[in-house]
Structure 1
Amino acid sequence: MLINTVLVFLQNILPIFVVFSLLFAQQDARYKSSSLESSQSSSQSRNQSSNQSSNKEKNNIYYLPIIYLLKTTGIGLIIVFLLSYFMPMLSQLFSGTGLEILFSILFSLIYCFIVISFLLNQTSSHKKSQDKMLLDQQTLTQQKTLVSLAILLLVLCVHGSYFSLYVMSLTIQNTALETLYSGIVVGVIIGTGICLSIAILLYFILVSLAKKLRSQIVCYFLLLFGVGQLIQGLQLLEQVDIISSTAHLWSTNYLIAEDSELGYFLTILFGYEATPSAMELIVYLSAIIVPILIAKINTSKQNSTASFMKGTS
């Protein structure tokens, strides 16, 4: 029971720690890049840039206030409790596929909010170079904060509910209470330590990257995390035959097994699949390429508009 609890905890709770790590690394990258740019602008014109540099710091620093994180976590735990309580009823909906449909929708929402966050960050970096108004930057900061909190809430609800379902299934079994609770508590403590270690290591790896590339790399890591969540939702629909599953294209289990420690981590980080189907491969590549193309198109349009405005002025 102890080993199973640790494995289930890592599989379901580690994504929560990973998304915390990615969002905080994104915040740190934006803070340092804004500090670097404000110092460069102040060195060029010290008399006029004191107000501008402070404004840029306010514009570009991307805060995740602790009080908001605590409130989001509290709301998420309440939703997890409610989902756990109504899971037996939800599982009977849609001919016994209610849970799979619900969680596939939640996985899709995680991906959608991460795409929104990705596009907002690309827009923010472009607007920063065009020296937009303070109000525009403040609006972007508020939007990114709300989107990040929505991502945290959805990830907590989905993966927390899976672990809650595992705990509920154990309580139904005829197991001694002392053995049951000791196994769960010790497994949660060990799993929490492992998750914290991985999240902290991932955070410091990301923030130690080159300053010019750090923000973009973290954004792409977060996008890959969202694609992995989308693939999990697709697999749920394939399991209940809502989407027809096709034959596997290849198998890389001989290199990295999905049920290994590294396989678990890669699956959580960017949706690693050792035996992908054609449908999964198409969805995976499309989910990566489409947001990048949209960001490139928006950037080119804004560049054209900026060039036109400069030409007419």
Structure 2
Amino acid sequence: MLINTVLVFLQNILPIFVVFSLLFAQQDARYKSRTMEASQLNKQSNKNEKNNLDYLPITYLLTTTGIGLIIVFLLSYYMPRLSQLLSGTGLEILFSILFSLIYCFIVISFLLHKTSSLKQWQDKTFFDQQTLTQQKALLSLAILLLVFCVHGSYFSLYVMSLTIQNTALDTLYSGIVVGVIIGTGICLSIAILLYFILITLAKKLRRQIVCYFLLLFGIGQLIQGLQLLEQVDIISSNAHLWNTNYLIAEDSELGYFLTILFGYEATPSAMELIVYLSAIIVPIFIVKIITYKQNSTASFMKGTS
């Protein structure tokens, strides 16, 4: 009971801690970058720049967590009914959509952060930069809420299934409580270690690397949604291309972490490989196009001035 609870907790709750670390590391990277720029301005500009620093206020985080807990409770309560919809595939379809939404919001956030680092965006007015800051904050909160709801619902369903099957409630609750405490300690350790590794990177690379880590995290969520559709035969599952379980087993501690961090799959199918590569290439390609167009426009305007 205890070991199973710890493993299920790590598998379902660790993604929440990881996305917290990535979002706060991304926030810290923007803070450091803007602080360096602000030091070159006069005092008044410096004051405006500090007011424009984007961050995730604790009140917003607490509100998002509260909303997430309510949604987790509702999803857990209605899961048996949802699973009966659409010929028994309703739950898988719902969660695959939620996983896809996580990826879509992360891609939008990726595009905003990559394009906002261009000089054309940095020359925008204070009002435009403040609007962009609010958009980034809302996207971060939306990503956090979706990850919290999806993965929290899975763990909540696990606990509810145990309470229905197990009659020894005292042993059950003690095992769950101790398992949650141990799992929380492990998740906190991993999240804090990941955060400090990211923020100690070189300042010029920190912002870029955190953005790509978050994108890989989103791709991992997308692959989980794809696997749900394969389980209910909505998408045909092809033969496995290779098997790397002898190197890193998926059910090992390192395998869990790599699966959460960037969607590690020891036995990928051709469909999963195509989706994975497309999910990486398409956002980067869009950023390259936007960068090229903005640089071309800037060069043209400079040439005509």
TM-score grouping bracket, smaller chain normalisation:
over 0.9
Q: C-alpha offsets along residues 117-147 of structure 1, whole Å, 9 cap, x if unaligned?
A: 0001012111477422111111110000000
Query: Aligned partner of 1:22: which letter?
Result: L
> What pairs up with 1:182-221 in 2 under 5 angstroms?
182-221=174-213
> What pairs up with 1:167-186 in 2 under 5 angstroms?
167-186=159-178
Structure 2: distance between partners of 1:155 and 1:82 = 15
Q: C-alpha offsets along residues 209-231 of structure 1, whole Å, 9 cap, x if unaligned?
A: 00000000000000000000000
Aligned to 1:238: 230
Unaligned runs of 5+ in 1: 43-48
Give the superposition deviation at 1:56.
3.2
> What pairs up with 1:269-284 in 2 under 5 angstroms?
269-284=261-276
Structure 1: distance between partners of 2:210 and 2:204 = 12
Aligned to 1:58: 51
Give the superposition deviation at 1:302.
1.2
Structure 2: distance between partners of 1:290 and 1:150 = 22
Structure 1: distance between partners of 2:226 and 2:166 = 34
Q: Does 1:125 pair with 2:113?
A: no
Unaligned runs of 5+ in 2: none
SS in 2 for 1:62: coil
Query: Aligned partner of 2:93: which letter?
Result: I
Aligned to 1:46: none
Aligned to 1:99: 91
Aligned to 2:130: 138
SS in 1 for 2:35: helix
Aligned to 2:220: 228
> What pairs up with 1:11-160 in 2 under 5 angstroms?
11-39=11-39, 41-42=40-41, 49-59=42-52, 61-127=53-119, 130-160=122-152
Structure 1: distance between partners of 2:121 and 2:215 = 23
C-alpha spacing 1:307/1:20, structure 2 compared with 1 (3 Å): same
Structure 2: distance between partners of 1:55 and 1:301 = 29
Contact 2:106 2:143 in 1 (8 A): yes
Query: Aligned partner of 1:17: which letter?
Result: F
| Identity across the alignment (%) | 86
Query: Aligned partner of 1:253: which letter?
Result: N
Structure 2: distance between partners of 1:168 and 1:104 = 22
Q: C-alpha offsets along residues 88-107 of structure 1, whole Å, 9 cap, x if unaligned?
A: 11000000001000000000
Aligned to 2:4: 4
Q: C-alpha offsets along residues 245-297 of structure 1, whole Å, 9 cap, x if unaligned?
A: 00000010010000000000000000000000000000000001100110111
Q: C-alpha offsets along residues 62-86 of structure 1, whole Å, 9 cap, x if unaligned?
A: 2100000000000000000000111
Give the superposition deviation at 1:153.
0.4
- Of 132-141 and 23-32, deviating more is 132-141
Structure 1: distance between partners of 2:56 and 2:122 = 25
Q: Does 1:286 pair with 2:283?
A: no
Query: Aligned partner of 1:213: which letter?
Result: L
Structure 2: distance between partners of 1:215 and 1:261 = 28
Give the superposition deviation at 1:306.
1.7
Structure 1: distance between partners of 2:304 and 2:112 = 28
SS in 1 for 2:118: helix
C-alpha spacing 1:301/1:34, structure 2 compared with 1 (3 Å): same
SS in 2 for 1:254: coil
| TM-score, scaled to structure 2 | 0.98
Contact 2:166 2:172 in 1 (8 A): no
Structure 1: distance between partners of 2:155 and 2:186 = 16
Q: Does 1:248 pair with 2:240?
A: yes
Aligned to 1:262: 254
Structure 2: distance between partners of 1:236 and 1:130 = 42
